[in-house]
Structure 1
Amino acid sequence: MLAIELLRPTTALLPSYVSALETGWSPDNVRKDVAAREQLHAIEVNAEAFVDGLDDPTASGGPIPLPDGSTVARLPSIVRWIWDGEVSGAIGFRWQSGTAELPPNVLGHIGFSVVPWKRGKGYARQALNLMLGEARRQSLSYVELTVDPENLASQRVIAACSGVLIERFKKTAAYGFAESLRYRIALDH
């Protein structure tokens, strides 16, 4: 298995990221193609601002769009690109300071997506394990991740990182009441 790194997005790495987006991959498992098009447009308008906005541990950016078009306040968050010599995916982590709880509109602390042509190589598991270190630095007692019931690959990744299924639930109206699974990973400090 190849070892990956999680890299803070930079304009120097941007061509590899743009190439993945243009090939049809999206870092957003919920908003998919819409998010990919928005990102390509944002990069075209101001690449530096786009890259800077992916690392926002103080939640200084603007509101976050939801799939139904509504917006919500931004949480502190970071995005890291999964790197094996080129961008191979992305993983994001968001949190509320001082608590492991999340607002009802936030489906989970961590979300990840590996480009289709690199799936099955253990990249998602490695990336999730690395991002759990970031969560520990925020002194969270646990993180939660949500996954669609048919996404067996992500369920296996989460379980391999000590994730435990805690509930099957319906997402909020903003997400079309779709069925989802919520996993929790306890963090020892």
Structure 2
Amino acid sequence: MPELIAPTIHLHGAWSEAHEEWGPGLHEDGFALKESDDVGSAAGFAAWVARLTDAADPARHHDSGHVFRWIVEGDQVLGGIALRYEFDGAAPPLGHLGYGVRPSARGRGVATWALGRMLGEARRVGLAHVRIMCAPDNLASARVIERQGGVLEGIVETRFGPARSYRIDLGPDGTR
């Protein structure tokens, strides 16, 4: 059974295995990787995890918040999911939620499960709805979002190109 956990330096090896499986690049949405992040070394990995932890601290960031979680099962990192939100109620440019599941863990419902859990977190921080985007040709991700109640609002232009834009309205207990 998977679980969502806060990023930790203790899973450097397991996270590195997942990262290698994805291959080169910064395409693992949900991990907030930047080109400047040195996740290969122990010190660089620790600095990256500290950055994620710092981004989640509302005392340090007064205009926006982040909640980063890793999807873990046993000793494996299956993926990551991030909740991004603006304290003024506006949706971030790339939506409220981003996630990625390593190739070998896809097709098992992991992303659907993790997204469902993070919708509760979104409600906990006071969001009445979330906006989620995915590439127009990413039909697997579109199905994940739709399974969690996502309603397609249209195709929008982002800094990475066109994206499907979905909205999920949240009830008082974090459900639709």
TM-score of the two chains, using structure 2 as the length reference: 0.82
Once the two structures are superposed, residues 67-114 of structure 1 have per-residue CA deviations (whole angstroms, 9 ceiling, x without a partner) of xxxxxxx83212111111110000011101241x224xx211000100
- Cα distance, 1:24 vs. partner? 2.9
> Any residues of structure 2 matched to 1:1-189 within 5 Å, and which?
3-25=1-23, 28=27, 35=33, 38-39=36-37, 41-42=38-39, 44=41, 45-55=43-53, 56-58=55-57, 60=60, 75-85=64-74, 86-99=76-89, 101-103=90-92, 106-171=93-158, 174-175=159-160, 178-189=161-172
What displacement does 1:28 show? 3.5
Give the counterpart letter for 1:11 in structure 2.
Answer: I
**Kept after mapping to 2: 8 A contact 1:125/1:157:** yes
- Residues 163, 184 of structure 1: 8 Å contact kept: yes
* Paired letter, 1:161: Q
Q: Which runs of 5+ in 2 are unaligned?
A: none
Measure, in 2, the Cα distance between the counterparts of 1:88 and 1:27: 16
In 2, Cα distance between the equivalents of 1:150 and 1:79?
Answer: 25
Structure 1 segments unaligned to the other structure (5+ residues): 62-73
Query: Retained in 1: the 8 A contact 2:4–2:114?
Result: yes
C-alpha distance in 2 between matches for 1:181 and 1:6: 26
Q: Indicate how the Cα distance of structure 1 residues 37 and 107 shifts in structure 2: closer, same or farther if over 3 A, else same.
A: closer
Corresponding residue SS for 1:127: helix
Cα deviation digits, residues 34-71 of structure 1 (max 9, x gap)? x48644x145243322112223223648xxxxxxxxxx
| SS state at 1:9 partner | coil
For 1:58 and 1:97, the matched residues in 2 are separated by 13
What letter corresponds to residue 18 of structure 2 in structure 1?
A
Question: Percent of aligned positions with the same letter in both sequences?
Answer: 34
Structure 1 runs of 4+ off > 4 angstroms?
35-38
1:27–1:112 contact (8 Å) kept in structure 2: no
Aligned partners of 1:43 and 1:50 also within 8 Å = no
Could you tell me which amino acid in structure 1 is paired with residue 82 of structure 2? G
